[in-house]
Chains A and B, each alone.
Chain A
Amino acid sequence: MSHVAVEVRDALKVYQSPGGGTVTAVDHVSLAIADGEFFALLGPSGCGKSTLLRMLAGFERPTAGEILIHGRVMGATPPYQRPVNMVFQSYALFPHLTVRQNVAFGLEMARRPAAEIRARVDEALAMVRLPDVADRKPGQLSGGQQQRVALARALVNRPEVLLLDEPLGALDLKLRKEMQLELKALQKQVGITFVYVTHDQEEALSMSDRIAVMDRGRLLQVDAPAVVYERPTCRFVADFIGEANFLEGTVTALGADFGTVAVDGADLALAGLPQGGLTVGQRVTYSVRPEKILARTAPPAPAPAVNCVPAEVEDVAYIGSDTRIVVRVGPRLALSVWEQNDLSTLDPDAYFSRGERVWLTWRAANALLLGA
């Protein structure tokens, strides 16, 4: 596991835009992906994740920087000489060839003996659980089946790294969930390094060993899924993955383990601020996720000195597993609060209603102070 499969060194990709200007698709990105890792590149569309993947495949040359695969500098190595294979978003199956011919394509290009090709294609089709469609054309398969063929066509070559460009994007939700589990199991089974591009945060969180979050060409954070979710290093990551409340304000006083921050006209005593490094008058963004806030319809007694904010219920939505409440703290500050449901939900007196006064509390450990 400790060997590096893919290394990206200060990669830059700048395009000439039609208007004469330039667009920086990948902005000085450096990262290392370990052998056998399931590595996700996550970000909104246009964040540069696909461009980075295409640079690994060899379809794009970096404007500056280097890409190494198992220590070998790729440089100008064309796609057909790289030890990687790709699963395309649209699958890109050859419509004029049968499933068998599609899967055999890479082995034929490598001029493997016919008997070996036959055996390995059978094995690959069995692995993706599609042994019976070998003689059909891609057009006769369902979306999910095409997806598996695309996977078999890439994996049959036993690449050092498998590149996947939003491979489940075209499938419906149920099938996507199934394929997520299957892909993850398959990756464990073959032990090949997967680099997985997606804009679906849930997909990235549930499948990956590590996630790299990108925005506007920059790499913002690379960490394990739980770390990316619980300890985002910047506001974009906190906002893009899951939901987050942001309290922006100015530090007005600092205590031993808390500070007061003027947010939207009200001084809030907040715990969870880092020790040291803060000064009175500094602008800060304090973040806490909606499921980590506890809303009570009665003031907690004894009232805690910090992290206790009175608010008014503005909107209540029951969604089964929990109730999603929007509460107003100040004229410009509304927070999102998710309360887990239980049987007390059925009691109209205990349940939240519009206009009701609530008290919000949260644990200091669940709060984050973010850079802009």
Chain B
Amino acid sequence: MTDARHAPGRGLRLYALLAYAYLYGPIAILVVYSFNQSKFGVAWTGFTLEWYAALWDDRFVREAARNTLIVAAASTALSTVIGTAAAVGLQRYRFPARRLTEASLYVPVVIPEVVMGIAMLAFFAQAFAWLNDALGFGWRLGLATITIAHVAFSVPFVTLTVRARLAGFDRRLEEAAMDLGADEWRTFTRVTLPLILPGVVAGALLAFTLSLDDYIITLFTAGPGSTTLPLRVYAMLRQAVTPKVNALSTLWVAVVFAALLLAQWVGRPPRAVAA
């Protein structure tokens, strides 16, 4: 492929290299030490997979991983549906206070996580106090409350991603579908959804990675027996920084990195087709 753009100069290349080293250096060191035989210190004593095995044997880690995946899967599914519906609605309809609705949707993006966590905790405490009292339920904090909290902060990210995709959407495609006999639902499933799917999938993967590594809000909304990986890792760190934590972090980085790459690839602009 010939490209009119210049290759970067020597100085720019060095600068880029330093920037990447700054961003990924710590992660690279962490990955390297996860394979280090030495239990303490920084000296390299040999390659091992012992820490990964130890990780697998740790019942608490396994349970935390399971909890994390359950919460991530559930909150991703819910926030993708809600966020996509919100994006389509905001794009399509003009209604009073539309701008306010739109602005309020993005509040969770900018609000400090601690504030959101406290707000969630206060909300659940109040809601449970009323509901359990009035209806005799025994609801308490657990995986469900974590999931609800994760949905709350993931929805705006899904909406933003889907709206970007909807910006260039030609409404006449939907009119054409309806003209050809498709009712509203079939127009959505056969025409609208397939065309915005890259945005929806990218939004879902974003929601998934956000849920996977949330610590602060989860801390406030978790209950006994619903420890997630971020909470577990923090607890482990309070005892010691062991290579086991390095191994866990390495696996984790790999999953998040894969999800982000997938989101980038799925959400890429459509390839131009020669006429």
Contacts and interface: CB of A to CB of B under 8 A. Distances in A.
Interface of A: 57-59, 78-81, 84-86, 88, 90, 92-96, 105-106, 109-110, 137, 139-142, 153-154, 157
Contacts of B176: 86, 88, 92-94
Contacts of B275: 139-142
Given A88-B172, A94-B176, A109 B274 contact: no
Nearest to B187: A80
Contacts of B191: 94
Nearest to A156: B180
A78 B179 CA distance: 9
21 contacts: A57-B175, A59-B179, A79-B175, A79-B179, A80-B179, A80-B181, A80-B182, A88-B175, A92-B170, A92-B172, A92-B175, A96-B194, A106-B180, A137-B273, A139-B273, A139-B275, A140-B274, A141-B275, A154-B179, A154-B180, A157-B180
B111 to A, nearest CB: 33
A81 B181 CA distance: 6
A355 to B, nearest CB: 52
B175 A59 contact: yes
B195 A80 contact: no
A95 B182 CA distance: 17
A101 to B, nearest CB: 10
B178 interface: yes
Contacts of B102: none
B210 interface: no
Contact of A90 (B170, B178, B190, B195): B170
Contacts of A81: 181
B273 A90 contact: no
Contacts of B179: 57-59, 79-80, 84-86, 154
Given A57-B179, A92-B170, A105-B180, 19 more contacts: A58-B178, A59-B175, A79-B179, A80-B179, A84-B179, A85-B179, A88-B175, A88-B176, A90-B170, A92-B173, A92-B176, A93-B176, A96-B195, A109-B182, A110-B181, A139-B275, A140-B274, A153-B180, A154-B179
A139 B273 CA distance: 6
What size tier do the contact residues of chain B reach?
A: 20 to 34
Interface in B159-208: 170, 172-173, 175-183, 186, 190-191, 194-195
A95 B195 contact: yes
A80 B170 contact: no
Contact of B273 (A94, A140, A142): A140
A106 B178 CA distance: 9
Interface of B: 170, 172-173, 175-183, 186, 190-191, 194-195, 273-275
B181 A157 contact: yes
Contacts of A157: 180-181
A84 to B, nearest CB: 8
Nearest to A59: B175
B175 A94 contact: no
A80 B187 CA distance: 10
A94 B179 CA distance: 13
Contacts of B195: 95-96
Contact of A109 (B173, B175, B186, B194): B186
B98 to A, nearest CB: 14
Nearest to B197: A96
B170 A79 contact: no
A313 B30 CA distance: 92
Contacts of B172: 88, 90, 92
From B178, B181, B195, residue with most partner A Cβ within 10 Å: B181
Contact of A105 (B170, B177, B274): B177
Contacts of A85: 179-180
Nearest to A57: B179
Contacts of A86: 175-176, 179
A80 B180 CA distance: 6
Nearest to B273: A139
Nearest to B171: A92
B168 to A, nearest CB: 11
B173 A94 contact: yes
A162 to B, nearest CB: 11
A255 to B, nearest CB: 59
Contacts of B182: 80, 105, 109
Contacts of A84: 179
B151 to A, nearest CB: 29
Contact of B181 (A95, A96, A109): A109
Contact of A79 (B173, B178, B186): B178
A96 B172 CA distance: 14
A57 B180 CA distance: 10
Nearest to B272: A139
Nearest to A109: B181
A86 B181 CA distance: 11
A101 B179 CA distance: 16
A120 to B, nearest CB: 13
A139 B270 CA distance: 11
Nearest to A159: B179
B201 to A, nearest CB: 14
Contacts of A94: 173, 176-177, 191
A105 B273 CA distance: 23
Contacts of B173: 92, 94-95
A88 B180 CA distance: 12
A197 to B, nearest CB: 14
Contact of A106 (B181, B183, B273, B274): B181
A121 to B, nearest CB: 13
A142 B275 CA distance: 6
A82 to B, nearest CB: 8
